[in-house]
């Protein structure tokens, strides 16, 4: 088993998901894109992610193929599973594809959306003496390595004259970071919704700085190269992305209904989740040259900071064939 496959297995176990498919032969193939009844699309998901959204929007009704859902705590372990062919596709933020690509993963970004970044935040406890970004110097900051929060933290530090080496970074998965934050074992936490809303509502966390002006707000659906090469899987992926784009538009127009399902799925208080739903509006967008260029800037920033093993050309990890599944402007 390769080192990347071993990391996939470990990450999946930590996420309470046994990646039994690592290294096994693929399943659920279809000979063509016409008959999807024999296709099994294996989807990696995050907390209150695509499954909850599609369910709330009614987009899981009459799906012509079978979806197998696998939960992950955050993006990098999900993409390790995609690379190891344990799942076919999954949703992540703007940074996990860069870390996966730098590690040599066989992945392609196949869909994009842009979201408001008010729910992405560097949080500090309510009574913290930290008032400015400069006050983070020497402090303990929790962040999930390779996540969108990782770049948010890097960008905030760079724009405020601090090097990554000038803080004490604690690389923790979101649930572990929440525990460390509430116990006072870290001074700050860089995170995204619904964790931001949870920390604010339950623990009185204060936003030091949000993601607006620091992050491009992009998030992606990322598929494995082998799944994309299979006609049946590719057809299922096209249908899945179409449903997901429609569901995002629906959630923007029905935040209360979306928050109700979101709260049920996560066990978080409805009011906290409603806050997250209202400030986390998302717009499906094509993967165009501007998207690629923006991601290249992030990739270069991580390479310059020596936080990834090698430089990458982001355009090499993009598949634009599904750009035509976007809703019409009238629908958005």
- Architecture (CATH level 2) of domain 3-114+218-325: 3-Layer(aba) Sandwich (3.40)
58 Rama sector, left if φ>0, alpha if ψ -120 to 50, beta otherwise:
left
Contact yes or no for 157/304 (Cβ under 8 A)? no
Strands 107-115 and 282-285: antiparallel
Q: Work out the angle at residue 114's Cα, subtended by the Cα atoms of residues 112 and 116, and round it to the nearest 5 degrees.
A: 155
Strands ordered across the beta sheet of 107-115: 66-71, 40-45, 89-93, 218-224, 107-115, 282-285
Q: How far is CA 117 from CA 84, 93, 148, 216, 305, in A?
A: 31, 11, 11, 8, 23
Q: Could you give the residue range(s) of every CATH 3.40.190.10 domain in the chain?
A: 3-114+218-325, 121-210
121-210: CATH number:
3.40.190.10
pLDDT per position as a tens digit, 195-243: 999 999 999 999 999 999 999 999 999 999 999 999 999 999 999 999 9
- Residue closest to 143 by CA, chosen among 93, 83, 71, 90: 93
pTM of the entire predicted model: 0.86
Instruction: Specify the pLDDT at position 272.
Output: 87
Instruction: Specify the pLDDT at position 2.
Output: 43
Q: How far is 239 from 42, CA to CA, in rounded Å?
A: 14
Arithmetic mean of pLDDT over the chain: 89
Q: How far is 320 from 289, CA to CA, in rounded Å?
A: 10
Q: Tokens in use for 312?
A: 């990458």
Q: How far is 240 from 54, CA to CA, in rounded Å?
A: 10
CA torsion, points 230, 110, 4, 21, in degrees to nearest 10?
Answer: -40
Q: How far is 104 from 110, CA to CA, in rounded Å?
A: 17
Instruction: Specify the pLDDT at position 329.
Output: 52
Residue 209: other Cβ atoms inside 10 A: 21
- Digit-by-digit pLDDT tens for the chain (332 residues) are 444 444 433 344 333 333 333 333 344 454 445 789 999 999 999 987 899 999 999 999 999 999 999 999 999 999 999 999 999 999 999 999 999 999 999 999 999 999 999 999 999 999 999 999 999 999 999 999 999 999 999 999 999 999 999 999 999 999 999 999 999 999 999 999 989 999 999 999 999 999 999 999 999 999 999 999 999 999 999 999 999 999 999 999 999 999 999 888 888 889 888 998 998 889 999 999 999 999 999 999 999 999 999 999 999 999 999 999 987 654 54
Would the CA dihedral through 159, 164, 168, 172 be positive or negative? positive
pLDDT per position as a tens digit, 5-47: 444 333 443 333 333 333 333 444 544 457 899 999 999 999 8
Q: How far is 140 from 170, CA to CA, in rounded Å?
A: 7
Determine what percent of the chain is predicted with pLDDT higher than 90: 80
- Residue closest to 201 by CA, chosen among 115, 118, 274, 287: 274
Instruction: Specify the pLDDT at position 327.
Output: 78
Instruction: Specify the pLDDT at position 133.
Output: 98
Instruction: Specify the pLDDT at position 47.
Output: 80
Instruction: Specify the pLDDT at position 312.
Output: 98
H and E: helices and strands count for the chain:
12, 11
Listed in sequence order, the DSSP H helices in 23-147 are 50-56, 75-83, 96-102
């Amino acid at each position: 088993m390769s080192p990347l496959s071993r990391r996939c297995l470990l990450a999946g176990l930590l996420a309470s998901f046994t990646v039994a498919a690592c290294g096994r032969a693929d399943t659920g193939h279809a000979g063509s894109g016409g008959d999807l009844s024999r296709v099994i699309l294996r989807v990696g998901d995050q907390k209150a992610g695509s499954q909850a959204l599609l369910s709330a929007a009614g987009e899981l009704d009459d799906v012509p193929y079978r979806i197998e859902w696998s939960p992950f705590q955050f993006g990098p372990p999900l993409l390790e599973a995609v690379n190891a062919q344990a799942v076919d596709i999954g949703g992540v933020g703007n940074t996990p594809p860069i870390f996966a690509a730098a590690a040599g993963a066989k992945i392609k970004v196949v869909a994009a959306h842009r979201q408001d970044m008010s729910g992405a935040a560097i949080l500090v406890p309510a009574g913290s003496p930290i008032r400015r970004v400069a006050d983070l110097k020497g402090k303990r900051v929790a962040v999930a390595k390779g996540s969108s929060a990782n770049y948010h933290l890097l960008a905030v530090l760079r724009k405020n004259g601090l090097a990554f080496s000038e803080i004490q970074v604690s690389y923790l998965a979101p649930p572990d970071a929440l525990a460390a934050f509430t116990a006072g074992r870290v001074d700050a936490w860089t995170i995204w919704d619904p964790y931001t809303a949870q920390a604010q509502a339950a623990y009185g966390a204060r936003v030091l700085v949000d993601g607006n002006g620091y992050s491009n707000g992009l998030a992606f659906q990322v598929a494995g190269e082998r799944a994309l090469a299979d006609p049946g899987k590719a057809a299922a992926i096209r249908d899945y992305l179409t449903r997901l784009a429609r569901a995002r538009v629906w959630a923007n127009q029905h935040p209360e209904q979306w928050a109700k399902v979101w709260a049920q799925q996560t066990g978080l208080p409805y009011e906290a989740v409603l806050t997250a739903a209202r400030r986390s509006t998302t717009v499906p967008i094509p993967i165009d040259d501007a998207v690629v260029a923006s991601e290249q800037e992030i990739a270069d920033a991580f390479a310059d900071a020596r936080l990834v093993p090698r430089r990458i050309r982001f355009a090499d990890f993009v598949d634009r064939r599904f750009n035509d599944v976007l809703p019409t402007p009238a629908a958005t």
